[in-house]
């Protein structure tokens, strides 16, 4: 246990230290200040704009910005779907795989990767060719992460500017996110992964014979390059079905530590960039502190639950066996608990253990993190604007308590912003609860669960939380590759993505048009420790009110029954 605690402390310290210089760099990139990569990337940027007829200096209002994102997203779904259906005649297909079938699986996958969810109802090495993985799925991992970063930057501009009706140019923001942030980080991280044993090749799958004499196939492919954007872009889609539990994708405890660091890197750095762009660094520190506190609460819950394991095993003389169920020996309880907590705190979805095998409370905390709106670091960009929802709610309530108009970074929070923040919180939450309720009573929903009782409900709840939260991880006990689940989770992913983006862009446009108000003696400080605690309380209260009844019937009831000796 001491080793695991030291690892967790080291992880927390390193992610904060790495986020400081990267956050300042990101702030410079989107403030169009000089960076060390400008001599190489500025000419390339100009070339891209000349080929795509983008006018760099023409900014957009929130409506045009939203329209650009929506149109771009539609094109990406169609583009990815076509590649999937034509992969049988496209190059880099050494396994001679045919079109992705059935059609609703291909559609679900296209929607999944466009929305930065990477929900996978298929086995990657048996379904997707190398070309589809690279030109289709990996490309979507870049542009979906860049789109999330662009929305976060537009929202930051809304708070930073005054008397403005423009929040930036989506095409410019997305291009800069890819060229200046995602590509350089991915190049460095890919080389680091390859040096540690992660494979990167175009070889066909290799036949092998086990010691028992059985035939097996060893999967190959350009894994490291896709894995880097999978993690850094908080996408989560696995090149292999086993995702980061596969030894080719995550060979050692050291790579496991690197991978969890990469998941949090950009979400944490964006908070530092926020502080620089609004010219008040402590605003970013306050939100970062709230996210870190919520993360450590969840990590403690997962680790302690898995460390103590299932008491029913002890009664059968199998004490110690249950703790490793569904986990890789090379990571142990500590590495598995850290990865499970990080991947669900961020909207990543990559896994190094099977969440379906976690203890009831071990699965409760990852599920709750997703349900809270992926605001605990969250995805690349999405974590920032998801947490701003709760910041707006917190500031508004504080304003009511002190009897004056709420203010945040010198801008008044009024009824319009409050309505949008509430919508951004409610839309994914209602989607999760309604779709889970429907699936728990209709035949197509119930037939796909692998376990009866509360664990079966947990599988359904987790699936729609993961889809609407744009996370992509799964409990792995649900047969989601059916017409019912492919279409319903696709709808949940679209609602979860754009049901948050659109209200937050409305807030960005509204805040940009407002004037800055000088601080006075009655202004409530949003920089200190007390405000951080208020944000944490708001997130937990909203989550408890919204999801506690459903969670009570799922993982909490299963936990109680486990300790009462009730099994199914």
Asked if residue 291 is part of any domain, the answer here is no
Percentage above 90 pLDDT, the chain: 77
Q: Which segments of 53-138 does DSSP mark as H helices, in order?
A: 62-86, 103-114, 124-127, 130-131
| Total domains present in the chain | 1
Using one digit for the tens of pLDDT, what is the confidence trace for 319-347? 555 577 788 888 999 999 999 999 999 98
CA distances from 524 to 197, 519, 527 (A): 52, 9, 9
Residue ranges making up the domain that contains 81: 18-278
CB contact at 8 A, 333 and 324: yes
The pTM (predicted TM-score) of the whole model is 0.94
Q: How confident is the model at residue 315 (pLDDT cuts 50, 70, 90)?
A: low
Q: Is residue 190 part of a domain?
A: yes
Mean pLDDT of the chain: 92
Cα separation, 44 vs 38, in Å, equals 10
**pLDDT mean over 194-217:** 89
Give the per-residue pLDDT at 338.
Answer: 96
Spatial distance between the Cα atoms of 513 and 163, rounded to a whole number of angstroms = 4
Task: Find the mean pLDDT for residues 143-159.
Answer: 96
In a domain, 445, yes or no: no
Determine the average pLDDT of the residues in 479-507.
96
Does a structural domain hold residue 469? no
Residue 404 lies in a domain: no
Q: Which residue's structure tokens are 């991992």?
A: 141
Structure confidence at residue 373 as a pLDDT band (50, 70, 90):
confident
pLDDT value of position 142 = 97
- pLDDT in the model for residue 322: 57
Structure confidence at residue 326 (pLDDT): 81
Cβ distance 164 to 249 under 8 Å?
no
Note the pLDDT of residue 314: 65
Given a cut of 70, whether residue 318 has pLDDT beyond it is: no
Mean pLDDT of 190-219: 90
Give the helix/strand (H/E) hosting 298. Answer: helix 281-308
pLDDT in tens, 244-274: 999 999 999 999 999 999 999 999 999 999 9
Does residue 150 lie in a domain region?
yes
- The residue-averaged pLDDT of 464-477 equals 91
Task: With respect to residue 182, please indicate whether it lies within any of the assigned structural domains.
Answer: yes
CB 78 within 8 A of CB 461: no
- The CA distance from 106 to 121, in Å, is 10
State the pLDDT at residue 321: 52
Residue 533 lies in a domain: no
Tokens of 271: 């908070």
Specify the pLDDT at position 317: 58
Overall average pLDDT of the 345-365 stretch: 91
Does residue 402 have a pLDDT over 80? no
Query: In the prediction, which pLDDT does 257 show?
Result: 96
């Amino acid at each position: 246990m001491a080793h695991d605690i030291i690892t967790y402390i080291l992880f927390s310290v390193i992610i904060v230290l790495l986020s400081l210089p990267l956050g300042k760099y990101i702030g410079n990139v989107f403030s169009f200040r000089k960076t060390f990569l400008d001599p190489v990337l500025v000419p390339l940027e100009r070339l891209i704009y000349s080929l795509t007829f983008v006018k760099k200096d023409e900014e957009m209002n929130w409506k045009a910005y939203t329209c650009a994102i929506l149109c771009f997203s539609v094109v990406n779904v169609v583009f990815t779907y076509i590649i999937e259906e034509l992969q049988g005649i496209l190059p880099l297909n050494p396994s001679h795989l045919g079109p992705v079938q059935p059609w609703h699986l291909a559609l679900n996958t296209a929607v999944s990767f466009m929305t930065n969810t990477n929900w996978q109802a298929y086995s990657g090495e048996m379904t997707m060719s190398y070309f589809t993985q690279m030109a289709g799925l990996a490309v979507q991992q870049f542009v979906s992460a860049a789109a999330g970063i662009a929305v976060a930057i537009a929202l930051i501009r809304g708070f930073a500017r005054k008397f403005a009706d423009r929040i930036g140019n989506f095409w410019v923001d997305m291009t800069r996110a890819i060229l200046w942030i995602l590509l350089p980080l991915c190049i460095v991280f890919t080389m680091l992964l390859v040096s540690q044993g992660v494979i990167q090749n175009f070889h066909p799958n290799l036949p092998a014979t086990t010691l028992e004499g059985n035939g097996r196939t060893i999967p190959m492919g350009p894994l490291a390059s896709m894995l880097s954007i999978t993690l850094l872009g908080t996408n989560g889609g696995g090149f292999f079905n086993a995702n980061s539990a596969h030894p080719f994708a995550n060979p050692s405890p050291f790579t496991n530590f690197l991978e969890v660091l990469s998941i949090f890197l950009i979400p944490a750095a964006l908070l530092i960039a926020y502080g620089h762009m609004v010219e008040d660094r402590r605003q970013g520190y306050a939100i970062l502190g709230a996210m870190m506190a919520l993360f450590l609460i969840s990590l403690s819950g997962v680790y302690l639950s898995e460390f103590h394991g299932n008491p029913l095993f002890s009664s059968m003389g199998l004490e110690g066996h249950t703790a490793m169920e569904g986990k890789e020996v090379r990571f142990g309880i500590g590495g598995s608990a850290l990865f499970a907590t990080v991947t669900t705190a961020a909207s990543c979805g990559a896994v190094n253990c099977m969440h379906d095998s976690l203890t009831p409370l071990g699965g409760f905390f990852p599920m709750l993190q997703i349900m809270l709106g992926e605001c605990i670091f969250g995805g690349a960009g999405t974590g920032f604007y998801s947490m701003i929802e709760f910041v707006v709610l917190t500031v508004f309530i504080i304003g009511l308590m002190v009897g004056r108009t709420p203010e945040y970074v010198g801008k008044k929070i009024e009824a319009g912003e409050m309505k949008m923040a509430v919508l951004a919180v409610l839309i994914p939450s209602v989607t999760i609860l309604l779709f889970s309720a429907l699936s728990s009573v209709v035949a197509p929903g119930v037939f796909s669960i692998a376990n009866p009782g509360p664990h079966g409900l947990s599988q359904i709840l987790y699936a729609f939380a993961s889809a609407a939260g744009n996370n992509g991880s799964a409990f792995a006990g649900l047969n989601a590759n059916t017409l019912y689940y492919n279409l319903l989770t696709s709808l949940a992913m679209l609602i979860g993505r754009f049901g948050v983006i659109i209200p937050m862009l409305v807030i960005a446009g509204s805040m940009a048009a407002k004037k800055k108000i000088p601080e006075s003696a009655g202004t409530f400080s949003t920089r200190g420790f007390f405000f951080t605690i208020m944000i944490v309380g708001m997130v937990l209260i909203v989550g408890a009110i919204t999801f506690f009844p459903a969670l009570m019937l799922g993982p909490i009831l299963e936990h109680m029954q486990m300790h009462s000796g009730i099994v199914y």
